[in-house]
Homo-oligomer: A and B are copies of this chain.
Amino acid sequence: MATRERRSNEQTSVSVEFLWGGRFKKPLSQEALQFSSSFDIDKRLWRHDILASIAHAIMLGESGILSLSETKELVKGLIALMHDIEIGKVSLEGQYEDIHSFVESKLREYVGEVANKLHTARSRNDQVVTDFRLWCRDALCQLGKAILKMQQALISQAKQHIDTLLPGFTHLQHAQPVRLAHHLLAHFWAFQRDLERLKEFLSRVNVSPLGAAALAGAGLPIKPKRSANLLGFAKTAENSMDAISDRDFACELVFICSLIMVHLSRLAEEIILWSTPEFAFITLDDAWCTGSSIMPQKRNPDIAELVRGKSSVVIGNLMQLLTLLKGLPLTYNRDLQEDKAIVFNAFDITLSSLSVMSQLLLKSTFNTERMREALTGDFSTATDLADYLVQKGVPFREAHHIIGQLVLHLTEKRKGLENATLDELRLFSEKFDADALKILRPERSVERRKELAGTKKSSVQKQLKGAESEMEQTKKWLKSLRQLSERLKRYF
């Protein structure tokens, strides 16, 4: 049969179906096929490939390139194939060059020779990037949901710990007392920026390249806006060559994942530190930590360690993708095939890391007494004392110096600030009065810190409200996003 390209491999007698081959005199070597096949990776795009094919077929029909009956056959066949893959009747196995060859080849089993008409006016070049963009749009949606879950865990713990005080750290040294809720909310806003980036990313990923064909546009009178619309794309690409070459969207997605992982790694680091016997600020749930094969006493914060470790992998994924693209001439070069394994890996890690960390956090217990104790004798209200002097008219720079010397004096006497006497204070400045001793309590310190978005109770409560309002917005956005992928459903 003329229409299928079987470049069977003689050595292995495996017969593989290619979407090309008329111009070749020898079959592709078995090793070259194995090396170049992307099916193991891009099989994951099966649903998107079928959906894009359905939209393409409908469009070809409406453009008069296919007859009505051909269109119907193709669409019906594709829907049946999708269904059979879903229920496991057709498995994503076998030796294929890629998911596109697989789908076309399987379709032929359902609808016969009309399958040979599906690839009219398109190329794998625009097909793969269409599939990939649809997949990324779904990924975006899943990441959005997972971030929201993470934020909910933070909010849930924050609400319980508005009145829990702990040392706020800079340089991992005690700096000033803060509310635990305030600390947890700091992580909330980092994730909120991730969401913002995801939201903006939508406008760049949701652009249809279908119809760019090989690179120069299709040679037949097609209607790309129609297929774009069916697939929920917001617009079509502005230049066919760019449509084929562009992988900015993949880079953006991996960059967004990288920052999510950086945020998770920072939280993970704190969980690991806080789990040490030395800190003992947090106790992980038995169901979320593991033991040692040799040391019977161990309870290890493995999940947090793994998340921290995996952040390196995602950062490296970003590097891989950018290095891949560097110096590539337009338009499609086979190097681009590597993009999917990279993006899938970054996405999988990020999604699962968000999920485990949100649960780990939710089920952890904060040791509030231990946190409060850590504020004893730690000089973390020294700045309050300097501010006290400022309010008495001492220039800040001078006040800072005075308190520095007081701290040195007390340290050598092995006393904390809270045990200083008025006489001791007055050794360093006569501006100190009896009220100075009162401001040294952490509970007082936090209440003085209203601005900017500080750790004062009312300030934190306001923050919480703001955070919850952001989550409402996110939920609405996620809902609207889900609707995009459902436009084609009326044809099923």
**Selected contact of A402 from candidates B22, B306, B313, CB within 8 Å:** B22
CB distance from A462 to the nearest CB of B (A): 10
CB distance from A321 to the nearest CB of B (A): 8
Question: In whole angstroms, how far apart are the Cα atoms of A406 and B391 in the complex?
Answer: 57
Chain B residue contacts of A369, Cβ below 8 A: none
Contact between chains at B305 and A3 (CB < 8 Å): no
A435: Cβ under 8 A from any B Cβ? no
Q: Which range contains the number of A residues in contact with the other chain?
A: 35 or more
Nearest residue in B to A174 (C-beta to C-beta)? B277
CB distance from A296 to the nearest CB of B (A): 4
Tell which of A82-90, A131-139, A324-332 binds the partner.
A324-332
A386: Cβ under 8 A from any B Cβ? yes
Chain B residue contacts of A215, Cβ below 8 A: 168-170, 175-176, 178
Tell which of A30-38, A144-152, A482-490 binds the partner.
A30-38
Contact between chains at A212 and B278 (CB < 8 Å): no
Contact between chains at B454 and A325 (CB < 8 Å): no
Chain B residue contacts of A43, Cβ below 8 A: none
Chain B residue contacts of A188, Cβ below 8 A: 239
Nearest residue in B to A449 (C-beta to C-beta)? B217
Given contacts A31-B359, A454-B240, A455-B240, contact A320 B312 (CB under 8 A): yes
Contact between chains at B173 and A217 (CB < 8 Å): no
Chain B residue contacts of A481, Cβ below 8 A: none
Chain B residue contacts of A20, Cβ below 8 A: 290-293, 296, 298, 400, 404
Contact between chains at B297 and A379 (CB < 8 Å): yes
Contact between chains at A22 and B329 (CB < 8 Å): no
Q: Mark A1-36, 1 if CB is under 8 A from B, else 0.
A: 011110000000000001111111111110110011
A200: Cβ under 8 A from any B Cβ? yes
Tell which of A45-53, A189-197, A472-480 binds the partner.
A189-197
A466: Cβ under 8 A from any B Cβ? yes
**Selected contact of A240 from candidates B341, B452, B467, CB within 8 Å:** B452
B-facing residues in A327-359 (Cβ within 8 Å) = 327-338, 341-342, 352-353, 355-356, 359
Question: In whole angstroms, how far apart are the Cα atoms of A303 and B236 in the complex?
Answer: 32
Chain B residue contacts of A218, Cβ below 8 A: 449, 451-452, 454
Given contacts A223-B451, A248-B259, A298-B170, contact A315 B322 (CB under 8 A): yes
A434: Cβ under 8 A from any B Cβ? no
CB distance from A198 to the nearest CB of B (A): 12
Question: In whole angstroms, how far apart are the Cα atoms of A213 and B293 in the complex?
Answer: 10
A383: Cβ under 8 A from any B Cβ? yes
Contact between chains at B171 and A328 (CB < 8 Å): no
Nearest residue in B to A5 (C-beta to C-beta)? B401
A204: Cβ under 8 A from any B Cβ? yes
Q: What are 26 residue pairs bridging A and B, where the CB atoms are less than 8 Å apart in the complex?
A: A2-B398, A3-B401, A20-B291, A20-B292, A22-B408, A104-B397, A172-B329, A173-B276, A178-B215, A190-B248, A217-B451, A218-B449, A224-B451, A240-B453, A262-B326, A265-B326, A295-B383, A296-B386, A296-B400, A296-B404, A302-B334, A308-B335, A312-B323, A312-B324, A323-B326, A326-B326
5 smallest CB-CB distances across A and B, nearest first, come from A217-B454, A22-B404, A309-B335, A20-B291, A316-B320
Instruction: Give me 11 other A-B pairs in contact (C-beta within 8 A), A29-B359, A218-B452 excluded.
Output: A19-B293, A29-B287, A120-B390, A124-B293, A175-B292, A186-B330, A217-B459, A224-B451, A237-B453, A270-B330, A312-B321
